[in-house]
Amino acid sequence: MTTAKQAKLAALCLLLVPGVAACESSSAQSEAHPPAVVEEVPGSDVKTVQLTDDAAAAAGIATAPVSAARVASELTMPYAAVIYYLDGTTWTYRLESKNTFRRVPIKVKSISGQVATLTAGPPVGSQVVVVGAPEVLGAELEISGEQ
């Protein structure tokens, strides 16, 4: 793992999600059966993350849909799906197919209780990760949890 990835993990763990599984040590995974397959998205610095069934279950992955807001150009989604990245940008993980996720940028207009109103984000009906996003981010950054 690169020093930059280690620094990102440290900041993520300390600032955003202390105590989650992606930030704690875990039992060693067999190299023959990694818990996630990470692939580049052409023309982007974002990757797709495909978790095994066991890894998705261990992370407790749960999704919820993006909805239309009262204002036609806005969206809503559970606040739990909002990821604050280290550089201050906001993201969410969209379900692409079974246990396969892609981090997509969002623009948060406001937060009211457990609902985030967005001015930009995934289309209405998209499923976004509301439980387990830190683990998916850890997999995307190729953080094994054993650092």
* 83 within 8 A of 90, measured Cβ to Cβ: yes
Rounded distance between C-alpha atoms, residue 109 and residue 115, angstroms: 11
Rounded distance between C-alpha atoms, residue 46 and residue 9, angstroms: 16
- Specify the CATH architecture of the domain 27-140: Beta Barrel (2.40)
Per-domain boundaries in the chain: 27-140
pLDDT at 25: 39
For the chain, give the mean pLDDT: 82
**Considering the entire predicted model, what is its pTM?**
0.76
> Of the candidates 69, 73, 53, 70, which has an alpha carbon nearest to the alpha carbon of residue 61?
53
- State the Cα angle at 144 between 65 and 16, rounded to 5°: 55
pLDDT at 62: 97
pLDDT tens by residue, 90-138: 999 999 999 999 999 999 999 999 999 999 999 999 999 999 999 999 8
pLDDT tens by residue, 9-64: 444 433 344 344 444 434 444 456 688 999 988 888 888 999 999 999 999 999 99
Query: Token digits for 133?
Result: 């996003």
